[in-house]
Amino acid sequence: MSVQTETLTDRTAAMTQAAMTQTAARADTAAIKMLARNVKVYYGPKQALKGINLDILENRVLALIGPSGCGKSTFLRCLNRMNDTIENCRVDGTLQLDGEDIYGRMIDTVQLRARVGMVFQKPNPFPKSIYDNIAYGPRIHGMATHRDEMDEVVQKSLERAGLWNEVKDRLKEPGTGLSGGQQQRLCIARAIAVSPEVILMDEPCSALDPIATAHIEELIDELRENFTIVIVTHNMQQAARVSQKTAFFHLGDMVECDDTEEIFTNPRDERTQGYITGRYG
Amino acid sequence: MTDLAQQGSRDMTMAHPKSRYQSAEFSARLRARYAAEQRFRAYGIAAVSLAAVMLVILLGSIVSKGYTAFWQNEIRLTVTLDPAELDPQGTRDPKVLAQGNYMKLIRDALAARFPEVTGRNERRQLADILSNGAPFTLQKMVMADPSLVGKTVPVWFQASDDVDQLEKGYIDRSLPEVQRRVNDLQIKALDSLRQDGSLHAGFNTTLFTAGDSREPEQAGIWGAIVGSFLTLVVTMGLSVPIGIAAAVYMEEFAPKNRWTDLIEVNINNLAAVPSIIYGLLGLAVFLNFFGMPRSAPVVGGVVLALMTLPVIIIAARVALKAVPPSIREAALGIGASPLQTVMHHVLPLAMPGILTGTIIGMARALGETAPLLMIGMIAFIVDIPNSFTSSATVLPVQIFMWSDSPERAFTERTSAAIMVLLGFLIVMNGLAVYLRKKFERRW
Ligand SMILES: Nc1ncnc2c1ncn2[C@@H]1O[C@H](COP(=O)(O)OP(=O)(O)OP(=O)(O)O)[C@@H](O)[C@H]1O
Ligand SMILES: [Mg+2]
């Protein structure tokens, strides 16, 4: 994995240009939590992202939409360097968290991933007890030293994920024994237990029924108060319901990013319009 | 198909043209497919039965030849432990007691029991019905309890291997005397002993407590079992940690490039290298170059460790590969370091598979003979090995050596030793299966 340092002028030029297009769209005054400038991702010789510019605002939900294979997951995985685990993946460009370069030499991936948590498409609880699933993160980060503290962290995380009432009597049972929707909420609880600043969610509801989905959407709305959230979804209604900002990806490009309302009522690009009205995708 | 049925089916499909799945051609094809399936099943059953029959024959021949080795005939004599022979000064000093002429006491006991046998030669023949370990039996008894000196006590002595074989029915009494390993005089004496209950067959504890011996009735497999144990301890101590570490590194940390590919190919090839090559390697490197002791469990263990390493590495890599990537992503995603991810999540999940592979590798090492011959573990060793560097042999080599001995008594001991070895292997493989079942996980 390497970040090719482009020549300085190149980079500044790209950044100013991107900043200009972005400011035009920014009515929201929230602080910028994460930012991507000219992000290009290659899987071996194949380019998956062709220069993405995007601002992720603090305490807002950003939805990434777009047809399958357009690079949404790829982009999401750049934000906490999960792409590092893929052998032939290469990332170019600038990605920042609170003004700090994510792919810079100074950053520690372990620390980054503690700050930028992730919920995956398929629920992936550890094959351990429900309690240990939640407690694992806080334990390795030394967030709770006493048993009581840990109990509290576990309870609070499960409560925030709306799972506490269902599992409070069976914390010792394996997390893999829960239903799909419960497992996904367990994974969300696990992610928030380490108090990240940003939570990335890759199609968190794709395996869930409408009730569980509604539950998680509510949860996302609540979590927004304390976290910055980026969610990938194929469900237009979901994007409209939970997000404040929406970015439309197409064939490795970020076509447009704007307030969610704006995107769904008044898209500027005809590809966006085509996609959200269901003409393709 | 009858006309009526055809009529019916035609009626049913009236609306559509007759489907090709209802045509006669199709049902013929279907019949052929079922027939093929039946044939295939028959082949399978035949193959399994053949294997089962072979196994039964193998086990049957081993058990039928060897089960008698678990018994040993013993002869009771009333021995007078004469103080004049054992302890003239009456000090009860162990050193003095150890020097006593126990053979003479036994000969006296025999003479007392069979006063009718008088000739020098005949007396010697009579003494031959006892194992020539008999004086040691008596010596051990007296040393353990010096207060016996001066008393007259009944003592059970091991019968000689020929007597034992005769009693077990392996020597034909109807043969002419010159062709028989037990002569008429001895048979008469045995019959007389049997009559007053002084000849019986007891459990052969010697087999499980003694080391090797030239005399079958004094030979045991304990030395070989201890040798095998010491060797396997070394093998396991080396190959398990190294194998797991290598597998974890290659699977979880190493970059995938031409070098790691090369290493992988080589490891796979090493698993297929004939084991005797490892023996040659051990001979050249450990004995000749490093000057390590011959016949020592430590060298055998190292050689077997080299042999099992590829097996363990391959098994461990397979087990690690089977852990779903989602578990790794889950751990990494909440900020676990790669090492924590492996240690806390991946390795525990892979452990049952690794364990199974390890046990099977160990079972293979336990049954291995060829490489150990090369490093001298085939020596005739009477003493039970007591350290990793003392001379030792192992069970399969012991079997190999005994199978080479001419005495009939060694034949049955060979089979008995094979049974013990198979017992260990079955236990180990059973353990592997049990662990696999017990820790099988769903995720
Ligand atoms: N590990 C990989 N190796 C090679 N190519 C990959 C890899 N992962 C993704 N790609 C390619 O990168 C492109 C973007 O994939 P990505 O998974 O980001 O799409 P996506 O927008 O998330 O699609 P979906 O909505 O179906 O999840 C695709 O063309 C895909 O084939
Ligand atoms: Mg995706």
Q: Categorize the per-residue pLDDT at B406 as very low, low, confident or very high, splitting at 50, 70 and 90.
A: confident
Q: Which of B333, B340, B443 sits opposite A82 (nearest CB)?
A: B333
Chosen from B261, B323, B334, B440 to mutate, greatest number of chain A CBs within 10 A:
B334
Q: Domains, chain B, ranges and CATH?
A: 73-202 (no CATH), 222-439 (1.10.3720.10)
Length of chain A: 281
Q: For every residue of A67-106, which 3-state class applies, written as one string?
A: CCCCCHHHHHHHHCCHHHHCCCEEEEEEEEECCEECCCCC
**Residue B407 or residue A246, greater confidence:** A246
Q: How far is B246 from chain A (nearest CA, A)?
A: 19
Which range (A91-95, B9-13, B438-442) has the least confidence?
B9-13
Architecture of domain A61-81+106-276: 3-Layer(aba) Sandwich (3.40)
Mean confidence (pLDDT) of chain B: 89
**Tokens read off for B23:** 């045509």
Specify the pTM: 0.81
**Does the distance separating the beta carbons of B336 and A82 come in below 8 Å?**
no
CA distance A212 to B124: 96
Instruction: Report yes or no: B417 at the A interface, CB cutoff 8 Å.
Output: no
Helix (H) / strand (E) containing B250: none
Which ranges of B249-286 would DSSP assign to H, the alpha helix? 258-270, 275-282
Q: How far is A172 from chain B (nearest CA, A)?
A: 17
Ligand 1, atom 3, lies closest to the CA of A43
> What average pLDDT does the segment A216-231 reach?
90
User: What share of chain B in percent tops pLDDT 90?
Assistant: 50
**Does the distance separating the beta carbons of A124 and B326 come in below 8 Å?**
yes
CA distance B253 to B300: 32
Residue among B274, B365, B351 nearest B315 (CA) = B351
Residues of chain B contacting residue A113, judged by C-beta atoms under 8 Å apart:
332-335
Instruction: Count A/B contacts: CB-CB distance under 8 Å.
Output: 66
Q: What is the pLDDT of residues B269-306, one digit of tens each?
A: 998 999 999 999 999 999 999 988 888 999 999 999 99
* Long-range contacts of residues B341-350, Cβ cutoff 8 Å, at least 24 apart: B342/B248, B342/B252, B344/A136, B344/A140, B345/A126, B346/B252, B346/B320, B347/B244, B347/B248, B347/B320, B349/A127, B349/B323, B349/B441, B349/B443, B350/B316, B350/B319, B350/B320, B350/B322, B350/B323
Q: What is the pLDDT of residues A24-81, one digit of tens each?
A: 445 567 788 999 999 999 999 999 999 999 999 999 999 999 999 999 999 999 999 9
Distance from the alpha carbon of residue A72 to the mean position of ligand 1, in angstroms: 8
CA distances to B65, B231, B295, B377 from B225, rounded to whole Å, are 21, 10, 15, 13
Q: What are phi and psi of A159, to 5 degrees?
A: -65, -45
Q: What is the dihedral of CA B343, B348, B352, B356, to 10 degrees?
A: 10
Please count the helices (runs of H) and the strands (runs of E) in chain A: 11, 10
* Closest listed ligand to the CA of A120: 2
* Long-range contacts of residues B375-379, Cβ cutoff 8 Å, at least 24 apart: B375/B279, B375/B282, B375/B283, B375/B286, B375/B287, B375/B294, B375/B295, B375/B299, B375/B300, B375/B303, B376/B287, B376/B294, B376/B295, B377/B227, B377/B231, B377/B295, B377/B300, B378/B295, B379/B294, B379/B295
Helix (H) / strand (E) containing A247: strand A245-250
> What average pLDDT does the segment B130-155 reach?
89
Residue among A225, A224, A201 nearest A124 (CA) = A201
Q: How far is A37 from chain B (nearest CA, A)?
A: 23
Instruction: Report yes or no: A42 at the B interface, CB cutoff 8 Å.
Output: no
- Please answer whether residues A76 and A36 qualify as being in contact, where contact means their C-beta atoms are separated by less than 8 angstroms: no
Q: Categorize the per-residue pLDDT at A107 as very low, low, confident or very high, splitting at 50, 70 and 90.
A: confident
For residue A4, how far is the Cα from the chain centroid?
Answer: 24
Give the model's pLDDT for residue B47: 97
Per-residue pLDDT for B5 more than 60? no
Q: Which of B324, B328, B340 sits opposite A140 (nearest CB)?
A: B340
Ligand 1, atom 14, lies closest to the CA of A71
Spatial strand order of the sheet with A46-57 comes to A46-57, A32-43, A89-97, A100-101
Q: Which of B333, B345, B441 sits opposite A117 (nearest CB)?
A: B333
CA distance A36 to A263: 20
Residue among B424, B426, B188, B391 nearest B300 (CA) = B391
Q: Which of A200-209, A238-247, B165-174 has the highest mean pLDDT?
A: A238-247
Q: Categorize the per-residue pLDDT at A280 as very low, low, confident or very high, splitting at 50, 70 and 90.
A: low
